[in-house]
């Protein structure tokens, strides 16, 4: 089993060396996607010979970094990709737990959850982030029956052959709102494992209009609606949502808008 760990970075000069050193303790095959950093991150990465690097000349977005990581894994015959962040919110010490779940060969996507089994030493997340996550996690569960507890955790293990079935194009932070509907449509086998909830810097921002929580929720919802419409026309499993659903519950548009079908 060939495993790649992929870490998107953007202006992470404060953390990048320390995080990479910790990750390499647990796994030696590491890809960094530098998403147009304008601080010292490119220079720091340029001095290392123990990691692979993809560099975007400009900032293309978190989702695009993940899409590029999946393509790299496919092109280089990897079986699995573990994705994690570079701001010390994802503990490298959890990597063996992901590997154990991978080795069970029972899943196509293994998603970290900061809310599955909270530990007593977890941090409190910013209220707007927790609220948006809870709202959209509940919406995804209602629409697709996923049974997930954390829609936005980026600490995941992905089976490369399964990810090849998906049509991922969302370049920004709304990437999960495209991923989850496609996981459902492709009928991938999904599980969650607990990871710690860590917020070292609650002042970190998304940038532009997404720094406003209301704008961010509307943007995420718009991406979800667009993905539902696309899957209604071109489902990944060969079945329409109406054919897969019992009644019309999973056939309606996101957030309860009527689908207009005859059921």
State whether residue 146 is helix, strand or coil: coil
The total domain count for the chain is 1
Host domain of residue 212 = 3-256
Residue 199 lies in a domain: yes
Domain contains 49:
yes
Please report whether residue 48 resides in a domain: yes
DSSP 126: P
| H or E element in which residue 176 lies | helix 175-185
Residue of 14, 32, 33, 35 lying closest to 24 (CA atoms): 32
261: in domain: no
In a domain, 23, yes or no: yes
pTM, two decimals, is 0.86
Give the CATH number of the domain where residue 231 resides. 3.90.550.10
Task: Return d(Cα 244, Cα 124) in angstroms, integer.
Answer: 38
The pLDDT tens digits for 163-206 are 999 999 999 999 999 999 999 999 999 999 999 887 666 555 55
Backbone angles phi, psi at 259, to 5 degrees: -90, -20
Task: Confirm whether 159 is domain-assigned.
Answer: yes
Q: Is the pLDDT of residue 74 over 70?
A: yes
Return mean pLDDT, the chain. 87
220-242 pLDDT per residue, tens: 999 999 999 999 999 997 555 44
Q: Is residue 263 part of a domain?
A: no
Instruction: Please answer whether residues 28 and 55 qualify as being in contact, where contact means their C-beta atoms are separated by less than 8 angstroms.
Output: no
223 lies in a domain?
A: yes
Helices 95-103, 16-26: axis angle to 10 degrees equals 40
């Amino acid at each position: 089993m060939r495993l790649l760990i992929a870490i998107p970075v953007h202006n992470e000069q404060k953390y990048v060396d320390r995080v990479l050193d910790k990750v390499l303790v647990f796994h030696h095959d590491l890809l960094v996607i530098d998403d147009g950093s304008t601080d010292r991150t490119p220079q720091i990465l340029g001095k290392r010979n123990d990691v692979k690097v993809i560099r975007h000349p400009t900032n293309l977005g978190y989702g695009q970094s993940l899409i590029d990581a999946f393509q790299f894994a496919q092109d280089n015959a990897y079986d699995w990709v573990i994705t994690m962040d570079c701001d010390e919110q994802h503990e490298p010490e959890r990597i063996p737990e992901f590997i154990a779940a991978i080795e069970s060969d029972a899943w196509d996507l293994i998603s970290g959850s900061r809310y599955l089994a909270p530990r007593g030493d977890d941090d409190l997340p910013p209220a707007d982030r927790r609220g948006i996550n809870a709202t959209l996690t509940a919406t995804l569960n209602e629409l697709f029956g996923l049974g997930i507890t954390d829609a936005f955790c980026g600490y995941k293990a992905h089976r490369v052959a399964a990810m090849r079935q998906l049509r991922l194009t969302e370049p920004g932070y709304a990437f999960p709102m495209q991923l989850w509907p496609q996981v459902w449509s492709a009928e991938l086998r999904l599980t969650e494992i607990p990871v710690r909830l860590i917020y070292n810097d609650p002042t970190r921002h998304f940038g532009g209009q997404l720094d406003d929580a209301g704008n961010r929720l509307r943007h995420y919802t718009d991406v979800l609606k667009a993905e539902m419409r696309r899957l209604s026309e071109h489902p990944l499993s060969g079945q329409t949502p109406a054919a897969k659903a019992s009644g019309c519950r999973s056939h309606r548009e996101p957030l309860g808008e009527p689908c207009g079908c005859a059921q």
